Amino acid sequence: MDIVVLAGGISAERDVSLKTGAMVAAALRKQGHRVILLDVFMGYQGKQEDVADIFANSDKAGITETEISETAPDLAAVKASRGDASGCFFGPKALQICGMADIVFMALHGEDGENGKVQAAFDLLGIRYTGSGYFGSALAMNKEVSKALFQKNNIPVPSGVHMSKDRRVDDFEKTGLTLPCIVKPCCGGSSIGVSIVRSEAEFGRALAEAFRWEDEIIIEDYIEGRDFSVGVLDKKALPVIEIAPLDGFYDYKNKYKAGCAVETCPADLPEDIAAKMMRYAEAASEALGLESYSRMDFKLAEDGGIYCLEANTLPGMTATSLLPQEAQAIGISYAELCEKIIQVSLRRYEG
């Protein structure tokens, strides 16, 4: 097949997306596909006359792998580097090339790639793509909305409140929550802008950090306990994986720098707890109307309570990412996982 692996963009998770895209593209090429790795924002900088034969020259077209830094990228510098005055999210020739592909493998991460807008544009243009559709993507991206749907479907979540930038309240007591709490952007990912607050003095700084990334944030009771994640592939939960950071919590650095966390799959859990977490993951995916594949993050509290934290509609596929490790635990290699995601996604377009 002719496949575009779409990555990059202008979200805070740009670097992670480029790394995911590079790995997916390499795996699909080994499977015999003609693959273009394309930065959705930068687009294709080559000549227009070369576009017609771009898949025939796929080994020379597209972008190359980038490394993930320990901090989020400078998005102002990224936008300035494109060199044109257009504010369009899609870079030069990006939509044209995507439209030429048999399918677009969505390697985007963060708000701009996972909030459903790109998916909606592709639906209107008749471009086939992997992952969930625009509506499920939009529901999952907004943590306030997804939590409400989880609660309606009897999936336990931490207590919390929503706050907007224009109604910021720095008095922690007015939240009605107890310390410690966690402050995070409403629609972000990769733990960017997230702070654990253990004293009232830290609360204002945590608000400032979260509002630096978005105008809407979530403040929740912080659940002391162990971190887990469960992938869902073709409506079936994969084995539970445990994440134990060597230092601090599971932040941006600990997620993407090798050796910063110990990940165990299958997780060392009583069988009934693991089974319940997997059922919650499948139920969360269904509640949000997610398709093809996704991943749910969980906390197991010290008292044994399970809490679903959020849904990821386009989980990372880097060397340290969780979903590939879960698939590997049941004998699905990285390349096989990429292939299966494509085959499952193509079913949506049958008939």
Residues with catalytic annotation? 13, 190, 256, 295, 297, 310, 312, 316
Q: Which among 38, 42, 94, 35 is positioned nearest to 59, based on CA atoms?
A: 35
Are 140 and 311 spatial neighbours (Cβ–Cβ below 8 Å)? Answer: yes
Q: Is the peptide bond prior to 180 cis by the omega test (within 30 degrees of 0)? A: yes
HEC secondary structure over 80-144: HHCCCCCCCCCCCCHHHHHHHCCEEEECCCCHHHHCCHHHHHHHHHCCCECCCCHHHHHHHHCHH
> What residues form DSSP beta bridges with 310?
297
Other beta carbons within 10 Å of 126: 8
Q: Identify the DSSP state of 41.
A: T
Q: Which among 5, 9, 13 is positioned nearest to 192, based on CA atoms?
A: 13
User: How far from each other are the two terminal CA atoms of the chain, in whole angstroms?
Assistant: 19
Query: Between the CA of residue 173 and those of 163, 193, 201, 209, what are the distances in Å?
Result: 14, 22, 12, 19
Q: Is the peptide bond prior to 266 cis by the omega test (within 30 degrees of 0)? A: yes
Query: Between the CA of residue 123 and those of 44, 84, 99, 224, what are the distances in Å?
Result: 21, 27, 11, 42
